[in-house]
Amino acid sequence: MDKPKGFKMTAQRRVILEELRREKSHPSADELYLRVRRRLPDISIATVYRNLELLSENGMIRRLWEGSGARRYDGTTEDHYHVSCEGCGRLDDVPLAAVDGFLERARALSAYDLRGYRLEFYGLCPACRADFENDRI
Ligand SMILES: [Zn+2]
Ligand SMILES: [Zn+2]
């Protein structure tokens, strides 16, 4: 995605963005901080937080809905769906094409001024499923 007007891409922001896009697990700021620190040993957690917020305000990354637990970030800005693990909280992408006209159909049925929607699948990830099956033997 292009850089929005008036947004300054500093060296720190570039590293944070690169590390987030490389990471498919939708990390929290704390998790991302540990990765970024390997490349920028002097960076503080507060700087990582602040830059993640700035990047998401500028539409270069996505801030994921905070249910329970820490706020997570997504380097993929195109519409896509997520699946969360009820066992360990892991969050992955589901490569399912967005449903055409879904939002428009909901708008026709709701008095709200709908701006978007979130759809999240849930279940057990492969690791948790294996644990679960081993426990039953
Ligand atoms: Zn799991
Ligand atoms: Zn995602």
The pLDDT tens digits of the residues spanning 72-120 come to: 999 998 888 899 999 998 899 998 887 888 899 999 999 999 988 888 8
> Do 117 and 99 contact (CB within 8 A), yes or no?
no
Q: Which ligand has the nearest atom to the CA of 79? A: 2
Provide the whole-model pTM: 0.78
With both helix axes pointing from N to C terminus, report the angle between 45-57 and 11-22 in degrees, rounded to the nearest 10. 80
How remote is the CA of residue 90 from the centroid of ligand 2, in Å?
A: 12
How remote is the CA of residue 12 from the centroid of ligand 1, in Å?
A: 32
User: What mean pLDDT is predicted for residues 14-22?
Assistant: 95
Q: Residue 71: which of 79, 61, 80 has the closest Cα?
A: 61
**CATH node for 1-75:** 1.10.10.10
How remote is the CA of residue 28 from the centroid of ligand 2, in Å?
A: 13
Is the model's pLDDT at 1 over the cut of 60?
A: no
Q: Which positions ≥6 away from 59 have C-beta within 8 Å?
A: 1, 4, 77
Domain boundaries, the chain: 1-75, 79-137
Q: How confident is the model at residue 68 (pLDDT cuts 50, 70, 90)?
A: low
- Pair of tokens at residue 110: 């709701």
According to CATH, the topology of domain 79-137 is Dna Ligase; domain 1 (3.30.1490)
Q: Which ligand has the nearest atom to the CA of 118? A: 2
Tell me whether domains 1-75 and 79-137 share a fold.
no
Cβ neighbours of 17 (radius 10 Å): 19
Cβ neighbours of 84 (radius 10 Å): 19
How remote is the CA of residue 4 from the centroid of ligand 1, in Å?
A: 36
